[in-house]
Structure 1
Amino acid sequence: MDWIYQSDDPILTTLAASFLIFIAIIIITRLVGLRSFAKFTAYDFAFTIAIGSIISATLTSSTTVVHGVTAIAALLFLTFIFSFLQRVLPSIKKLTSNKPLLLMDGNQILNENLKHARIEKEQLIAKLREANVMSFDQVEAVVLESTGDISVLHRTEDEDSLHQDILEGVRKKP
């Protein structure tokens, strides 16, 4: 039974640390803002992985809760600083964010853009089905967002055409 539980395992310490880390993340996130866990950029993805790693190390190794909370607070503070810098310095935003990429323009599949984004035509078609697109003629645009999500903008017969402001900032060529 040693592989299930050893009598010297610090199970109560792990439970207490889990509770403290959970409370600390809630408090720090409320102070810094929910955007810190949003899925926006490659930086945000790396941040999320780092937070998970810190939590894991805190709960399963000799790292103290204070050390873990300090590391999480530092990362959240860095996220806060980066989000501020992205707003005031376009060059920082350009370094940390991908611009959305057009995958379909109307009913035309942009194969060069699919290739650049490493998206297969079958994956694009699956996204069209998820969006209840019945015909390519219903498609106004398909956009690979900076988050990695694919947005399908489509219309029915009784709707107006797409307002061009919706595609502001979307790259038409890779």
Structure 2
Amino acid sequence: MDDSFKFSTDESLSTIITVIGIYITLIMVTRLNGKRSFSKISRFDIAMTVSIGSVLATVIVSKSMTLQYAILGLVIIYSLQMLVVAIRHWKPIQSLVDNKPTFLMKNGQLLRDNLKKCKVTESDVKAKLREANVIRLSEVKAIIFESTGDISILHGTDDKLIDDWIVDF
């Protein structure tokens, strides 16, 4: 019989203890790092989230990685994220880890080149307009593809202008 179907009480107990240990560690380092841990802020944060998932999966299913090394790996990943967040205000670091928002519509004009660049369809834009309860395109001041991948709709009456600070990117 193939060893992959073999059940061992010792290995099962080891897996249970490892999962509990890594789960507790994940909760602790996530609480220390704050809400940013699993946010969808930037490509750096996404890479960090994938790294955490990889460490968790590896320690749970692999006999070659011990709980201690997994804990060390998680602490290092979270420490790196905290370091990047701390130095993120520097422009070179910011441009390295953050995506820039992109106008999809500005001054009433749909920017088709930006739609292509962001891989957003007109159907996506229409769905977001409906979600924002926009009933007239004349109400739309701007549509922005955010650094998080979300689409924001800025709308209001014709006589209201968007403050420059809001769209200064």
Q: Take 1:40 and 1:84, find their aligned partners in 2: how far apart are those partners?
A: 15
1:81 matched to 2:89? The reply is no
Task: Quote the residue 1:44 is aligned against.
Answer: 45
Q: Take 1:98 and 1:147, find their aligned partners in 2: how far apart are those partners?
A: 8
Q: Take 2:55 and 2:44, find their aligned partners in 1: how far apart are those partners?
A: 16
- The residue type equivalent to 1:26 in the other structure is I
Q: Take 1:3 and 1:148, find their aligned partners in 2: how far apart are those partners?
A: 44
Q: Take 2:3 and 2:150, find their aligned partners in 1: how far apart are those partners?
A: 41
Q: Take 1:104 and 1:84, find their aligned partners in 2: how far apart are those partners?
A: 33
Task: Quote the residue 2:108 is aligned against.
Answer: 107
Shift of residue 15, structure 1, vs aligned partner: 2.4
The two structures have a TM-score, normalised by structure 2, of 0.87
The 5 Å alignment of 1:134-145 reads: 134-145=135-146
1:167 matched to 2:167? The reply is yes
Identity rate, percent: 34
The 5 Å alignment of 1:14-163 reads: 14-62=15-63, 63-87=65-89, 89-155=90-156, 160-163=160-163
The two structures have a TM-score, normalised by structure 1, of 0.85
Structure 2 residues not aligned, in runs of 5+: none
- The residue type equivalent to 2:163 in the other structure is H
RMSD between aligned residues: 2.3
Shift of residue 6, structure 1, vs aligned partner: 3.9
Structure 1 residues not aligned, in runs of 5+: 170-174
Q: Take 2:140 and 2:15, find their aligned partners in 1: how far apart are those partners?
A: 52
Q: Take 1:160 and 1:15, find their aligned partners in 2: how far apart are those partners?
A: 59
Q: Take 1:140 and 1:33, find their aligned partners in 2: how far apart are those partners?
A: 34
Does structure 2 retain, via aligned residues, the 8 Å contact 1:106–1:137? no
- The residue type equivalent to 1:112 in the other structure is D
Shift of residue 74, structure 1, vs aligned partner: 0.3
